[in-house]
Chain A
């Protein structure tokens, strides 16, 4: 029972273009969502988060959008840079429970 789904195992984007990574969830109790980035041979690192009281959060080139009715969130990276090539994990949690439920990850490849 996957509560957090990232249906695209990989995504290839041209440098300078927009990268859009998608994530769907099933549990309506989730009220906090995070994106983590992972390089090979390293642990995941926190990238950006959003609370369910918002529908958008922006940090530099990274923007996360939340559509609660569709139980869908997306991460936009613009413009995409070669250093953005990594695996991106979506994670969700409820404020009442500190556990994070993780998606399977999407490997983003930025082509020069």
Chain B
């Protein structure tokens, strides 16, 4: 079991550019979550999917953020255009139905927008 895989690990981009973060959940996990961690706000849930369907995107900060899950093994979080205030660590997590303690996080993508 390779765990939740996120790419890239680090991303530095210029303001206004499009950024795409990628996540491969654990096979068999039917929930996928995108989180953002900042010093000011801690861990914020951005959006989560169940069986590839977005269930709650109320945490997505604004229309510049979008997320997709085209299949059970892949999800993307896109920011277009990026702004310096988007700089944060973005985590993807997955779990199986019923597994409260079974959230498995990826190692995160550290995004810096300059």
Query: Which residues of A approach B to under 8 Å, CB–CB?
Result: 32, 34, 36, 41-46, 49, 89, 93, 98-100, 102-105
Contact = CB atoms under 8 A, between A and B. Distances in A.
A100 B91 CA distance: 14
Nearest to B93: A43
Contacts of A32: 100
Contact of B101 (A42, A49, A98, A102): A49
A98 to B, nearest CB: 7
A43 B4 contact: yes
B108 to A, nearest CB: 6
A44 B31 contact: no
How many chain B residues sit at the interface, stated as a range, is 20 to 34
A41 B107 contact: yes
A44 B95 CA distance: 13
A4 to B, nearest CB: 9
The CB with the most chain A CB atoms within 10 A, among B4, B91, B105, B106, is that of: B105
Interface of B: 4, 31, 41-45, 48, 56, 91, 93, 100-108
A84 to B, nearest CB: 19
Given A42-B107, A43-B93, A102 B42 contact: yes
Contacts of B106: 43
Given A43-B108, A46-B102, A89 B43 contact: yes
A7 B108 CA distance: 25
Contacts of B105: 43-45
Contacts of B103: 36, 44, 46, 100
A104 B42 contact: yes
The CB with the most chain B CB atoms within 10 A, among A41, A45, A93, is that of: A41
Contact of B48 (A44, A99, A102): A99
A100 B101 CA distance: 10
Given A99-B48, A105-B42, A34 B93 contact: no
B91 A99 contact: no
Contacts of B42: 89, 102-105
A104 B107 CA distance: 18
A105 B41 CA distance: 10
